[in-house]
Amino acid sequence: MSDSIRSVVDSAAVDQTIDKATLDLIWEAQRSEITEYVIYNRLAARVQSPHNREVLERVGQEELVHHDFLAGISGRRATPRPMTVWWYLFLARFLGVTFALKLMESGERTAQLGYERLEHVEGVAAIIHDEKEHERELLDLLKDERLEYAGSIVLGLSDALVELTGALAGLTLALADTRVVAMVGLITGLAASLSMAASEYLSSKSEEDSGSGKNPIKAAAFTGLAYLLTVIILILPFLLVDNVYLALGLTLSAAVVIIALFTGYISVAKDLDFWPRFVEMALISLGVATISFALGWVVRLVFGLEG
């Protein structure tokens, strides 16, 4: 915690003439600080590592000190934003504490930019220093099993998106029947998910035997489940609509949405650029689907299949 901020808070010795526009900025900063204080402390209760818990609690306490300092200037105390607190706790529960903290860390960067507009206020420079330290400390402690096995999830998702969108596109023109396409796609997807899980198990097993790597069973489970979930989503349109081409369009749209969501997750969690990864994966999946659709047309002509 910044000694200069602590001394101001402890002595309540803030004596500054502040205009209304600056007071509005201070009030917004207050609400952010008290909200982050609550979030960091709630997230601290979810982590198992005593060291990580201590870091989160300390960072949260410093956010409270920042709020108290700003309250000494504005003359009133703020309350947390309940929806913001709920949102980050929701993300932590379903996407992992690491993902939620990564978003919080990006919020720290935004806070630094906001405080730059308040640099003329005495004591704010120390808050900016603290926010930079928070970013560094959070980066040091971030680790989550979901991210340890992100490679296995990527393997399952990417293979399912490329292989199944291609297969469904080819089957659409070759068979021209939504129920038959769904049935063949499901059988293909189930077999492929088991195959991918087995391959990932053997790959991780060899890494484990060499003294490093992930737990083979968990790696296989992440890969297989990611593949299977993607399969279910992609074949669902063929079970819901009768027009085979409309079903294919919905499937390809679902594939793009899946790519966007997962790329967004990985981009936030691993500090990667979203657009290059998203465009690359989307082009590969849709490109394979286009080629497969053309192959389906060739198969249809060669075998004389009728719609």
CA distances 115 to 35, 67, 132, Å, are 16, 13, 11
Give the integer Cα–Cα distance in Å for 133 and 112. Answer: 11
Give the integer Cα–Cα distance in Å for 183 and 244. Answer: 13
Give the integer Cα–Cα distance in Å for 185 and 181. Answer: 6
Enter the pTM of the model: 0.75
Domain-wise residue ranges, the chain: 3-143, 146-303
Hey, what CATH topology would domain 3-143 get? Answer: Ferritin (1.20.1260)
User: Is the separation of the CB atoms in 130 and 62 below 8 Å?
Assistant: yes
Token pair for 218: 């968990």
Give the integer Cα–Cα distance in Å for 220 and 218. Answer: 5
How confident is the model at residue 193, as a pLDDT? Answer: 94
- Among candidates 136, 139, 135, 130, which has minimal Cα distance to 70? 130
Question: Mean pLDDT of successive 10-residue segments in the chain (307 residues)?
Answer: 49 57 90 94 89 89 93 92 95 85 74 77 84 74 64 84 92 91 94 93 79 80 93 96 95 94 84 90 92 88 73
How confident is the model at residue 144, as a pLDDT? Answer: 60
How confident is the model at residue 3, as a pLDDT? Answer: 53
How confident is the model at residue 96, as a pLDDT? Answer: 82
- Phi, psi values for residue 17, rounded to 5°: -95, 115
172 membership: H or E segment, kind and range: helix 150-175
How confident is the model at residue 11, as a pLDDT? Answer: 42
